[in-house]
């Protein structure tokens, strides 16, 4: 029997010794790796033994293919994005429907006498406009309506010139809960009312000049709009709507609650009605629906 060579004896001594030192590890590595480890000061071990028989190929084992019922279900959903600009709406696939929504908004403003068309003068401080587009969906998520609202760029307004006060009270949630509880105890009907084009009904107490919005075939270099009613985006729009609604409720016999200016009440022998206003919506309890 031939005597073992020097390398075999070194490996045997290495595995028998429980304490591995850096010198022992270095003796198991090639010369180039020893030099690298000396530089990095991190000893590494050389893997000794046969290579694993597993070979990675492009073939798929049939046992790894899941049956049809066990496969995860994937759905492809096409979601329509809302147009962000006026020109984007005209370039979209639903151009005709967006144009219809824009015409509907402009027609509502014309019926409510929101503005007057006047000659443009140099001393007028014009407020910019922009279109805001929305998709209205039902509870199943399909689109049922496309809406377009003309907004004023309120950041272009000047304090003291085209607006002064902007604060408007908002109904508190605890009063709404109390109103619902009162309706349950007294067996009253509860109604939720959403006012369409609410701000377009509220007159302004300051003169606001508006630049000609996109969609109106009017020369903006010669004409501008003088607002008579509030529109979305104005800093005083919410206050104008609250003041207009408050004056109307008081004209028909309602009184403002001392604890919350958004709660109104009217009591008579035949009717008990208590509305609570919250921005553009109103909640109301009444005996007579």
At 238-282, the pLDDT tens digits run 999 999 989 998 898 888 888 888 888 877 655 556 666 655 666
Please report the DSSP string for 75-133 in residue order: -----PPPP-SHHHHHHSTTHHHHHHHHHHHHHHHHHTT-EEEEE--TT--EEPEEEEE
Dist CA 138 CA 271 (whole Å)? 35
Distance CA 245, CA 251 (A): 10
Which pLDDT band, with edges at 50, 70 and 90, does 25 fall under?
A: very low
Q: Give the burial class of 202: count Cβ atoms within 10 A of its Cβ; 0-12 exposed, 13-18 middle, 19 or more buried.
A: buried
| Average pLDDT for the chain | 77
For position 18, what pLDDT does the model report?
44
Residues 234-265: b if buried by 16+ CB within 10 A, e if exposed = bbbbbbbbbbbbbeebeeeebeeeeebebbbb
102-132 pLDDT per residue, tens: 999 999 999 999 999 999 999 999 999 999 9
Model confidence at 141, in pLDDT bands (50, 70, 90)?
A: confident
Of residues 42 and 70, more confidence is placed in 70
pLDDT over 80 at 181, yes or no: yes
């Amino acid at each position: 029997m031939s005597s073992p060579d020097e390398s075999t004896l070194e490996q045997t001594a290495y595995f028998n010794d429980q304490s591995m030192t850096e010198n022992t590890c270095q003796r198991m590595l090639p010369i180039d790796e020893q030099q690298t480890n000396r530089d990095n000061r991190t000893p590494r071990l050389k893997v000794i033994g046969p290579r694993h028989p597993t070979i990675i190929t492009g073939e798929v084992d049939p046992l790894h293919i899941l049956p049809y019922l066990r496969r995860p279900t994937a759905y492809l959903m096409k979601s329509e994005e809302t147009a962000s600009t006026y020109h984007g709406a005209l370039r979209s696939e639903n151009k005709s429907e967006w144009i219809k929504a824009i015409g509907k908004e402009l027609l509502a403003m014309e019926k409510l006498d929101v503005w007057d068309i006047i000659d443009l003068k140099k001393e007028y401080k014009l407020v910019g406009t922009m279109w805001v587009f929305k998709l209205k969906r039902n509870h199943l998520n399909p689109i049922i309506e496309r809406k377009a609202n003309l907004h004023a760029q309120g950041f272009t307004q000047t304090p003291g010139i085209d607006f002064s006060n902007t604060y408007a009270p908002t109904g508190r949630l605890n009063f709404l809960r109390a109103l619902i509880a009162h309706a349950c105890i007294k067996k009253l009907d509860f109604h939720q009312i959403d006012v369409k084009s609410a701000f377009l009904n509220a007159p302004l107490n300051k003169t606001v000049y508006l630049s000609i919005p996109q969609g109106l075939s009017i020369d903006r270099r010669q004409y501008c709009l003088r607002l008579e009613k509030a529109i979305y985006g104005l800093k005083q729009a919410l206050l104008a709507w609250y003041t207009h609604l408050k004056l109307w409720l008081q004209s028909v016999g309602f009184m403002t609650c001392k604890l919350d200016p958004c709660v109104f009440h009217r009591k008579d022998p035949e009717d008990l009605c208590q509305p609570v206003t919250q921005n553009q919506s109103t909640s109301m309890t009444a005996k007579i629906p």
